[in-house]
Amino acid sequence: MTSTRMKGHRVLSLLLWMCAVYFVGIYLFVGGFLLVRLEVNRTSTCGDVLEPGGEPRDFCGVKPRFRRAVLLIIDALKIDFARFDPNNTSPRPFENKLPVFEETCSSRPDQCRLYPFRADPPTTTMQRIKGLTTGSLPTFVDMGSNFASRAISDDNLIHQFGQVGKRVVFMGDDTWESLFPNKFYCSLPFPSFNVHDLHTVDDGILQNLYTTMVGDEWDVLVAHFLGVDHCGHRFGPDHPAMADKLTQMDGVIRSVINHIQNDTLLVVMGDHGMTDTGDHGGESQKETDATLFLYSAVPLFPGPPSQDEPDVVPQINLVPTLALLLGVPIPYSSVGQVLLPLFPEFDPAQGALAGLSQHEALWINTKQVSRFLVTYSALAKDIPSESLAVLQHQYENLSSEYLTFAREGRSPPRELSLALQAYLTSVQDVCRATWARFNPLKMTAGLIILALACLMCFTVSEMSSALVGENRFRLRAAVVVALLVGVCVAAGQLLSWGSVELAWCMAASAFTSELFFLCQALQSKTSAAVKNGAKAPKSASWRTPRYLLSPPLVVTLLRFASMLSNSYVITEGQSVTFLLRSLALYIPLRLNWDGLLLPANQDPSKPASFLPSPASPPSTVRKESSTLVAFFALLVGSLYLSLFFHGCREEQHACQPSPFLSSLARVKDNQLKNILYVLSVFSLAVWTYLLRKCLQHYGNLNSSGGTVFTARWILPLLSVCLGLHWAVSASPENSFRNLSEFIKLAQIFIPRAAYCLLGLGVALIWLDPLTVFVKTRPASGTLKNLSVPPPRYRASTGISPQAELHHLIPQIYQHMRRSLDDGETSGGNEVDNRPAVEAYGLGTVYSAPLLLFCGLLGLGLLHLHPEGMALSFLLLLFEMGALLHIHASSTTLCDLRGVYSGGFNVPWTPVVLWSLAATQFFHATGHLPTFSSIQWEAAFVGFPGGHTGTFLPASLVTLNTFASHILFAVGCPLLLFWPLVCEVRGSRAGKASGEGGEEAVMEMRLREKPQLFSSALLQLSARYLFILGLQVFASVCAAAILRRHLMVWCVFAPKFMFEASGFLVSCVSLLLGVSLVLRVDVAVGHWFKRLVPDVSR
């Protein structure tokens, strides 16, 4: 007797192993590609010999130009906010709101300057604080720690201020507290992660700022305002709230200027800018260009701005400038260049009263940078020797020339000053080019493991039948050998180095398991060939060039090659839409080419055959062809409409981001806001209605189980919660003042109620996944009163319970079909007093809970997106349904005409289409493989007051970013079920069971052949993993090959990180979807075991 249970543990084990091998390859490559630069743990001291005389001297003992400094950091204060245009009679909300800069610089040109302040990417707050205090250049990987900041170990201004006894008082963004723990004389930090809160941090600063300034308990005052940045994230710069916030900052700056003493320097600056949507993190000019305003109560500059002054000031240049103006050593690792206009020209008569002269400051800066360059190159050895030799030779010549003038007491010529500045600029350029340190060995190991993982995944997909059906599970041996090798490598490391590096142990284990498995696969191929007498087995057809160069695989390889093009990565949203539409068009074209799309023409000249013709009725073929064409049109329409929801990269200058990407709270026109809200709620209602209608159509809403309860009640309640949450979130803060507290509570409890409903629904689906309604009734004449007899089955008593269980599935469906089609009210050979069984929803017993799970999960993910994305999610539902029906119709057309491949295998074409749709929907929700496009607002849905940790907000942002990956990976098994759901008479139903093609038993056919079921599920999952893994491998190759490319850090590295993260999320989601299918199979098995005794008594 054939087993009726799937080999689920074997399927899950193989999938887990393949995912683990991919993870190891990604981990190794990341370890070699995204390395931070070496941190030089040395600090500058007051006794460093940096002055021209070359004698030891207490540098800090010289009277500095300023005794105090006030640093006002207005987060995201872009230079466009600071400029004032008196001719602009209709300014936008962010224009002309800071007239204090223009008024002060016009009335007192020798006391202040306004400069564009250019940041080095990444333009995130933690990295900017690090650059503003250390003078060093950040590396790309630093961005990952923006919300998990660790203490700065490099020498920095805060440390230097403390070394000389200056009292540093800080207030504002709590990021400073984590970067400089126990470094402040007094600290007043406020939480910074809640971007919805525009006032708490700023109001907290203002309560303490002026009282601190009038006191004498400080030397350096740092105040970091966050309101402008949070307003940009929440509303964007073009919003009335931004005008209010900038006006408030204008008043703050005016008040501080009035409190500035003669010995105090005021520095007002932004740490970065923002895009037109209020985001930042990338390297576009709108994100990098902030504001720098310098002011002193006494003359600071020789006069109005001259042509010699810089047009733009790099942020790292502020570090040596502040250090020398305040009389502290320049931080050891700084590569910044002093801002010369802040230092007086050389005048021997003025002596030390005027502080350092321009040439002295420039020389000290040059010698400090040269000292760091020598130290760093000796430790890291990653600066090219040619570049290092050129810089050292250049410094020696400049040093000799400058010391000659210094010993003679003459002022160095202008040419020497320019040469020193050119040297400092050259050092910065060399450091920028080389501080992307790579570990070629780890990168190569990661590439090899990922390449073998792709090959292994492809092999598993094509050998799924053998892997599932073999008696000896070959994976067990591969894992055991891999673990032994990993342990041996760890022992070798421990004996040789005294420590163990886990990365190489995992690499050895993964590589060994891959080789072991591939060798076993090759051995099985050889043994099969020998057994067949030198004749290639049928399963070897996948190794032929014709198979490997089929259109779906060609499209996959084309995407692989395109990853090396920055143009493709930039325009991937439009490119994937084109590929998806083209490959979908290939299906009807290929069917038409094979003569399967239209009914077969009968040749009257040919004699009639004694055997029945395999051709199906023309009406059936026309119906399936029409269905295929209709859903292809729906797919094309959905793809076209989804283009209206795309975002814009910084490289796409002519692109305008979709208005649907903004939350309703940002919309100023109330009429437009109402229209968008109605459209969003309508899309939500259609989503819920279609899911319930589909389940109702197949009879899955008749039982009283947990899954049916979820579909009946939790799904609509979750939709209501979303609609209410959108209404509350769209309400302006100043409206409904009497209900303001109620609205604040609703913004907390309604989203959290949605989370609870979502969790309850998922739990009920998992615990009770069956949607089958069974009713036992006497088979009497009561059926005569019904117009359509219900399906029924009378269990046989002439066979054993085990045999009855084996034959129950085909029998129950054959009787149900005959009952419906022939209008039987009672079987002629049935005994009236024997019980019969009515079963509803059994034909979609696998797909129904999975479909409901995807729908419920889709609403939960929509909850984390802006309201306008409800339309995009509805288009996603249309796309998924269209792809499923196109696949089902094409399969049915092939089966109706006798082109049957056997089993339940899903071809490559629908799998590739499914993966393309996942990428397409990623872009259709406004997401891009750039850090500035991350929708951070998702972290505060249900948590407007912020979080105490980083795990929960990071999880919410991840779910928002990779919603498409999650939905398509969880729903991937639907590709296996949908042709069975939509099967018709004469298709694979009869051919698969040998019943002459008369019955269509839908998904119950999977229970008849559990080994084929397991094999098809493994093959489908492995194929999907192969396509996703190949995309990761392509992005890895692009990042490795183009690691010195001009656009590696703005295009290829972010693309790799998003592909790798999306792959990890997809793997987890795919395993979740497969696990749910296996859970349903176990529940179905238990259901039949309970049913057999009940109907046999």
Q: What is the pLDDT of residue 120?
A: 80
Dihedral angle, C-alpha 889, 895, 900, 905, nearest 10 °: 40
Residue 238 gets which letter from DSSP?
S
> What is the H or E stretch that residue 681 is in?
helix 670-697
**276 close to 286: Cβ distance less than 8 angstroms:** yes
609-634: average pLDDT: 74
Amino acid sitting at position 608: A
Q: Has residue 12 got a pLDDT over 50?
A: yes
Tokens of 695: 């389940």
Say which range, 75-89, 179-193, 447-461, 810-824, has the weakest mean pLDDT: 810-824
Residue of higher predicted confidence among 114 and 820:
114
User: Across the chain, what does the average pLDDT equal?
Assistant: 81
Q: Between the CA of residue 328 and those of 43, 73, 332, what are the distances in Å? A: 12, 21, 12
Q: What are the contacts of 246-249 at 24+ separation with CB within 8 A?
A: 246/81, 246/94, 246/97, 246/98, 247/97, 248/202, 249/74, 249/77, 249/98, 249/225
- For the stretch 1019-1040, pLDDT in tens is 999 999 999 999 999 999 998 8
Q: Among the listed ranges 154-158, 267-271, 730-734, 966-970, which one has the minimum average pLDDT value?
A: 730-734
pLDDT one-digit tens code per residue, 303-326: 788 887 888 999 889 999 999 999
Q: Is the pLDDT of residue 475 over 80?
A: no
The pLDDT assigned to 834 comes to 39
Arithmetic mean of pLDDT, 742-751: 86
Q: Sorting pLDDT into bands at 50, 70 and 90, what band is 782?
A: very low
Per-residue b/e over 724-741, b at no fewer than 16 CB within 10 Å? bbbbbbbbeeeeeeeeee
What integer is the mean pLDDT of 315-338?
90
Which residues, at least 6 apart from 734, have a Cβ–Cβ distance to it below 8 Å?
none
Q: What is the pLDDT of residue 833?
A: 41
Average pLDDT over residues 806-815: 45
Which ranges in 740-841 belong to alpha helices (H)?
740-767, 801-822
Q: What is the pLDDT of residue 648?
A: 85
Residue 816: name the closest of 1004, 978, 974, 979 by CA. 1004
- The secondary structure element, H or E, covering residue 773 is strand 773-778
- Phi/psi for 776 (5° steps) reads -90, 130
| 235 against 920, higher pLDDT | 920
Mean pLDDT in residue range 198-220: 89
Which range is least confidently modeled, 425-439, 505-519, 538-552, 876-890? Answer: 538-552
Q: Is the pLDDT of residue 1052 over 90?
A: no
Please provide residue 145's backbone torsions phi and psi, each rounded to the nearest 5 degrees: -100, 20
Asked if residue 851 has pLDDT above 90, the reply is: yes
Per-residue model confidence (pLDDT) at position 965? 96
What is the per-residue pLDDT for 471? Answer: 61
pLDDT tier, 191 (very low <50, low <70, confident <90, very high otherwise): confident
pLDDT, tens digit, for every residue of 977-1009?
999 888 764 455 444 444 444 444 677 788 778
Q: What is the pLDDT of residue 737?
A: 59
